[in-house]
Amino acid sequence: MSNNIDGKVVVITGASSGLGEATARHLSGQGAIVVLGARRVERLQAIVGELARSGAKALAVTTDVIHRDQVQKLADTAVQNFGRVDVMLNNAGLMQRSPLERLKVDEWDNMIDINIKGVLYGIAAALPHMQRQKGGQFINVSSVAGHKVTPNGTVYCATKHAVRVISEGLRQEVKPYNIRTTIISPGAVATELPSHITDAESAAGIQKFYEGFAIPADSFARAVAFAISQPEDVDINEILFRPTRQEL
Ligand SMILES: NC(=O)c1ccc[n+]([C@@H]2O[C@H](COP(=O)([O-])OP(=O)(O)OC[C@H]3O[C@@H](n4cnc5c(N)ncnc54)[C@H](OP(=O)(O)O)[C@@H]3O)[C@@H](O)[C@H]2O)c1
């Protein structure tokens, strides 16, 4: 029986580490063709090499999601090589927590560019292909921070709330094209995400939080696989999950 993943062409931004990498491996193991984007292309190539050696089809494309043309090239490469984009996983993200009063405005800009505009560019890149195909699925990565606001996380939380708003608007608008839209909002998952925080106090707080109970990235990959594997007339619109031990 088909798992509804086998043979699908899945484009993943932010696939060089953490959730994106785990998902690339998991979906590839279920028969998906994966097209991987991120800035650290040597990491992508290592993953692609490994997947290819086990018989899977995979491609790496250098992609910085702050540049629309690069995200377009990522989606177009999938279509040129494999004929379609079945799933666009807008996963690339940055978390730089700090109190607003520290005025780390460059970090605010980076998070807005990557977490919001990057997702919009992913939609712009894949939507015309999916309209033409009359089918496809967007999976946009929000966070528990897209449901709650926490001190020192204002801008990150704002970007992740924005992902949910954009995804819900997209869901309503793409009905004529048979396109599914899924928001996935993870809690604490062990990845490189906390390593980009430059505010020492915030970094120490988050490190303690993650050390307490962060779960493996495969938890996210399984949620993605669940959303994709549903029959085409079932649209899993939103998944929110946390480590069992995470309170807030
Ligand atoms: N881990 C968690 O606890 C957690 C919880 C909720 C939500 N999330 C969300 O999950 C997503 C993935 O994060 P992660 O936890 O897997 O962290 P991660 O290990 O730091 O991975 C982030 C990925 O995004 C990529 N990226 C960052 N800036 C980029 C850019 N400008 N262009 C293209 N790719 C870029 C990175 O690749 P390069 O550096 O190679 O470009 C990397 O592959 C993010 O959206 C994050 O907000 C994570």
- Nearest-CA residue for ligand 1 atom 8 is 143
Q: Can you tell me which residue has the tokens 């938890």? A: 219
Per residue of the chain (248 residues), give pLDDT as tens: 689 999 999 999 999 999 999 999 999 999 999 999 999 999 999 999 999 999 999 999 999 999 999 999 999 999 999 999 999 999 999 999 999 999 999 999 999 999 999 999 999 999 999 999 999 999 999 999 999 999 999 999 999 999 999 999 999 999 999 999 999 999 999 999 999 999 999 999 999 999 999 999 999 999 999 999 999 999 999 999 999 999 99
Listing DSSP states for 72-141 in one string gives HHHHHHHHHHHS--SEEEE---------GGG--HHHHHHHIIIIIIHHHHHHHHHHHHHHHHT-EEEEEE
Q: Is 156 a catalytic residue?
A: yes
- Is ligand 1 within 6 A of the CB of residue 19? yes
- Is ligand 1 within 6 A of the CB of residue 219? no
d(CA 88, CA 107): 26
Global pTM reads 0.98
